[in-house]
Amino acid sequence: MRDQAARSAAETLRQLAKDAPQRSLWEKIAEAFRAFIDFLRSTVIQWITTILDVISVIASFIFPPLGEAIGLLSGAIDLASAVLGGDPAEIGLAAGGPALDRRRLEVPGHIKSTGAYPVRIKLHPEVTASFNLNVVAA
């Protein structure tokens, strides 16, 4: 976790140095703060919710209402993290939305290269959603 934080900070500093002539000091500080918050949201909160999930399972054997309460706390933290991130799909999953399986996805052909692919999701026999899946090189 410390190495990941160091890599993230180094990447942010490299990017800030690259953009130095075009931006003010306050803009750079704000971007560094946003990068730090994103790191906290993605990594630290993930660790906290994982630990709470494990404690919840153990506590449910000893005192089931306590295990359920700890599980709810973990879910609430996960939901709050998703809301802070602003990604609608992440918010939907954190709120207990439907998990999608392969049978509900309609993708034309096989995805074997980068590019945009139209995808349809059958949420219900009468409800479908469409979006473009952008595949980029790693």
pTM: 0.47
- With a cut of 70, say whether residue 100 has pLDDT above it: no
pLDDT band at 101 (very low <50, low <70, confident <90, very high): low
Task: Calculate the CA dihedral of residues 80, 86, 88, 90 and round it to 10 degrees.
Answer: -50
- Which pLDDT score is estimated for 29? 82
Query: Beta strands 115-124 and 105-106: pairing type?
Result: antiparallel
pLDDT digits (tens, 9 = 90+) for 43-81: 888 888 888 888 988 888 888 888 888 888 888 888 887
Q: Which residue has the higher pLDDT, 65 or 15?
A: 65
- Which pLDDT score is estimated for 16? 67
Helices and strands of the chain, counted as H and E runs:
5, 3
Mean pLDDT of the region 131-137: 81
Mean pLDDT of the region 111-132: 82
- Which pLDDT score is estimated for 42? 75
Of 32, 38, 27, which Cα lies nearest the Cα of 14?
A: 32
How many angstroms separate the CA atoms of 65 and 59, rounded?
A: 8
